[in-house]
Amino acid sequence: MMREGAPKTIYRKDYEAPDFLIDSVDLAFDIFDGRTRVSSKLDIKRNGTNQAPLVLDGESLGIVCLKIDGRTLGADEYRYTNGKLTIDKVPDQLCFEAEVDITPEENTSLEGLYRSRTMYCTQCEAEGYRKITFGLDRPDVLSTYTVSLTADKDTCPVLLSNGNEVSRSDAGDNRHTVVWHDPHPKPSYLFAIVAGDLELVSDTFTTVSGKTVDLRIWVEAKDIGYCEHAMTSLQASMRWDEERYGLEYDLDLFNIVAVDDFNMGAMENKSLNIFNTSCVLAHPDITTDLGYQRVESVVAHEYFHNFSGNRVTCRDWFQLSLKEGFTVYRDAEFSADMNSRGVKRIEDVAFLRTHQFAEDAGPMAHPVRPDSFIEISNFYTMTVYEKGAEVVRMLNTLLGDEAFYRGASLYFERFDGMAVTCDDFVDAMQEASGKDLSQFRRWYEQAGTPVIAVETKFDEASGTFDISFAQRNPPTPGQDNKPPLHIPVAMSLLVDGKHQDLGEGEKERVMELTEASETVSFSGLSKKPVLSLLRGFSAPVRLELEQSRDDLVALIGFDDDPYVRWDASQRLAFEAIDEGTGLLAPDYIDALRRVLDGPSEAAMKAQLLALPTEASIADRHSQSGLVDVHKIHEAKQRVAGALGEGLREELTQILNKGMAASEAYAPSAAQIGDRALMHTALNLLVASDSTWLNTAREMYFAATNLSDRLCAARLVVHYGDDVHREEVLQHFFDRWQSENLVVNQWFVMQATRPTMSTVADVIALTEHAAFDWRNPNKVRSLISSFAGANPVAFHSTDGSGYALLGDAVRRLQSDNPQIASRMLAPLTRFKRYAHGQEMMRAQLTSIAALDNLSQDVFEVVQRSLSDG
Ligand code: B3K
Ligand code: ZN
């Protein structure tokens, strides 16, 4: 269902404290097949002195009865329109009661209370609570909740809500009731219930002070064998938050429920986290290495929200990055500690630079703390999450660990149980460190990716090296002129492969840029140094820095910063790809050969060897002109082939060693690195000579885990002949059709085949029995990976790829506005492309003309069409 009423822009500057607060909420759910009755009782008090009417949020609720202080309201005593219930004259303190009917079975938006396969579950963030019952559905109204659930004993044996179980009783008629109470006041967006037929995997965690916490993971019976990794990840997260931030879990029970139909990855409801099955289930047969790491990081992310988000929450949704940016930073540091720190950083930087930079350069660009929105669901973005995490990382870099953790502790103590702002967070950091962060706050206000142009000069006679920096902040929609930001730039200097002493024994220095242009000098150098700049990717900026091929080769070989090494190898790859012939300079091949022969860990070798994604090449090209995706694809394939050819011996060795490995599968950092390197090797070899597809086919049939199986299958499906492609696709489906998550990968592999005929294949697959428009994972696997990760097919010259996406959005947009709106992203950046702009625009225009347009899709389409 769409929101009622015309789309309305909401501005951050218009924030006002609520007119009323709710101390406690009593809810009773009476769940029947086809109808759920929700009874609520709210203890409301006026907040302040104005005599404003009581206005409660509530969307599409079937009112059965409303009462104030025990008296039933007549129909003339309230108005219920456009999602608001208004009662004009109310006392300063009152007990409001409502009985409403809702129909979770018909809720296709997957927001509010809905049904997924064998269970009922809720998703309230950001504004789903109002689809369940009346309330003040805003994050700055915190209440304690008591929740009673009544349902059929056979179909809903498990009844869960937040907090602790208080009682269970027989309700007659084969029904039962369970009552829950959560002692921690919380906003409505953290409320949750689950009712269904679920099985349990349980374990415990003993906190630092010796308290035993019950950990329960609830899944459908068929998935009971897939919970171990999530459980270990949860325990590791709980320990990490104690050790790193001094945060000890605050209840005796922590639940995770796995749900198959879910709009995003997971949700941090207080003590009742609800997860997309794709982010919690794991087993070598159904989960890739990346999948294992994703489960670990999402479990940690949601757990970490218990403090950064739940105990200290957001005052309003403009502050979303307060909880999301900080929590992404926390989970990234956790994953870095659990796996390879350098490789984790490279993966995150690659993602940010490719996807967040593109968002920041497109029509949806917005500050980490947005100034306005129509639909808040559209602002769960890479800017709010990933760039927001970079902003917190920069604070850590500027303050140093000690002051940063003091600032974090001050923040958690001072604002415990409160709903606060990004400024409150920076205030705590500033107070704890004594550092002036006034200019730094611009990172929250200014959209767009800063560009730093760097020039260097070496004076041989005096041994002086000057580095000058010029900072530009390009215009974004609604922000034309922006003052300079406070940017930490970590650097070091190498001479003959050695990091130089920059004074007082320091080998790395963090420079703090604050001006539009500035210069630093280093003297006493015996030779012109090689500059190692933006170490650790110390700020989310684009660097314009010319370095010679020799310098880049030296950085790959000798720098001790994984990001700088990787960036240097990417730059050599970019040059080779842009050059276009597929003839590779020997220094590039030699540099990579030395990497492969050298001591780096396997995962790092794989990163250094891997060519940039087509999306990141496109982003780079978009800086200086229009993007030609077909040309990029061909040029990259040629370079891949030449690399495979040039390194054939080394790659063959890696592959043979990998295929002979007999260790039992483990998602350990070491094994994951070995497999990544082997897969990169096979990819390059196949690009160089298609007879390697025979090896891929062998690997497919011999594989004992999904990572190997999928790497091999993908190669055969993408590059093999029709016979082998069909053979592998059929075999894969026959073997794994009962595993939803594996079938999703089967869709992805077909949707990303880089050829124009994929358009027809994807259209045909939407009719496949295993496809389901109502399941977001299926839609993402088939449609979003086609549009987002297959530029060659999506940008088919006849426009059929755009039409496919346009049709999918038109089909979904009123049933599930959130998914439809997210899916649209690849069409919104039409201005970047050399071809197809008009056809992309036509799709957007036709979506804009729909008469039942959801406000989610409306906002994205409108911003895209009015850009520039
Ligand atoms: N906080 C949720 C995201 C909710 C998205 C609502 N449209 C998951 C997370 O970031 O942890
Ligand atoms: Zn989050």
Ligand 1 geometric centre to CA of 807 (Å):
27
Ligand 2 geometric centre to CA of 385 (Å):
8
268 lines ligand 1 (CB under 6 A): yes
pLDDT for 6: 76
What pLDDT, in 10s, does the model give residues 522-540? 999 999 999 999 999 999 9
Give the mutation target among 124, 262, 299, 324 for probing the ligand 1 site: most ligand atoms within 8 A of CB.
324
What pLDDT, in 10s, does the model give residues 334-376? 999 999 999 999 999 999 999 999 999 999 999 999 999 999 9
Q: Identify the bridge partners of residue 215 per DSSP, sorted by sequence position.
A: 203, 254
- Take residue 106 and report the two structure tokens written for it: 């018909």
Mean pLDDT of 219-229: 98
Interacting residues of 137 by C-beta distance below 8 A, sequence separation 6+? 57, 127, 129, 130, 188, 189
What is the b/e burial string over 169-196, where b = at least 16 CB atoms within 10 angstroms of the residue's CB? eebeeebbbbbbbbebbbbbbbbbbbbb
**Helix axes of 706-719 and 740-751: crossing angle, nearest 10 degrees:** 30
Specify burial of residue 41 (Cβ count, 10 A radius: 0-12, 13-18, 19+): middle
Interacting residues of 322 by C-beta distance below 8 A, sequence separation 6+? 314, 420, 421, 422, 424, 425
What pLDDT, in 10s, does the model give residues 367-420? 999 999 999 999 999 999 999 999 999 999 999 999 999 999 999 999 999 999
Ligand 1 atom at minimum distance from 309 CA:
1
376 lines ligand 1 (CB under 6 A): no
Q: Can you state the percent helix, strand and coil of the chain, rounding each to 5? A: 45, 25, 30
Q: How many CB atoms lie within 10 A of CB 16?
A: 7
Judge whether 302 counts as a catalytic residue.
yes
753 lines ligand 1 (CB under 6 A): no
Cα-based angle 534, 536, 540 (whole degrees, multiple of 5): 60
Catalytic residue among 97, 99, 296, 302: 302
Higher pLDDT, 503 or 593: 593
Ligand 2 geometric centre to CA of 251 (Å):
20
Mean pLDDT of 564-577: 98
What is the b/e burial string over 663-679, where b = at least 16 CB atoms within 10 angstroms of the residue's CB? eebebebebbbbbbbbb
pLDDT for 822: 98
What pLDDT, in 10s, does the model give residues 700-721? 999 999 999 999 999 999 999 9
Q: Residue with the nearest Cα to atom 8 of ligand 1?
A: 267
The pLDDT confidence band at residue 49, using thresholds 50, 70 and 90, is very high
Distance between CA atoms of residues 535 and 521, nearest Å: 18
- Take residue 829 and report the two structure tokens written for it: 């950046």
What pLDDT, in 10s, does the model give residues 790-827? 999 999 999 999 999 999 999 999 999 999 999 999 99
On whether the pTM is more than 0.95, the answer is: yes
Ligand nearest to the CA of 308: 2
pLDDT for 5: 63
126 lines ligand 1 (CB under 6 A): yes
Instruction: Give the amino acid at 778.
Output: K
Ranges assigned E (strand) in 516-609: 517-522, 530-533, 542-545
Ligand 1 atom at minimum distance from 301 CA:
11
Among left, alpha and beta (phi > 0; psi -120 to 50; other), residue 169 is beta
What pLDDT, in 10s, does the model give residues 580-624? 898 999 999 999 999 999 999 999 999 999 999 999 999 999 999
192 lines ligand 1 (CB under 6 A): no
377 lines ligand 1 (CB under 6 A): yes
Ligand nearest to the CA of 323: 2
Q: Residue with the nearest Cα to atom 4 of ligand 1?
A: 125
pLDDT for 2: 45
> Which of 230, 174, 177, 173 lies closest to 201 in space, CA to CA?
230
What pLDDT, in 10s, does the model give residues 654-695? 999 999 999 999 999 999 999 999 999 999 999 999 999 999
Among left, alpha and beta (phi > 0; psi -120 to 50; other), residue 799 is left
Give the mutation target among 130, 137, 264, 320 for probing the ligand 1 site: most ligand atoms within 8 A of CB.
264
- Take residue 45 and report the two structure tokens written for it: 């008090």
Ligand 2 geometric centre to CA of 376 (Å):
14
Ligand 1 atom at minimum distance from 125 CA:
6
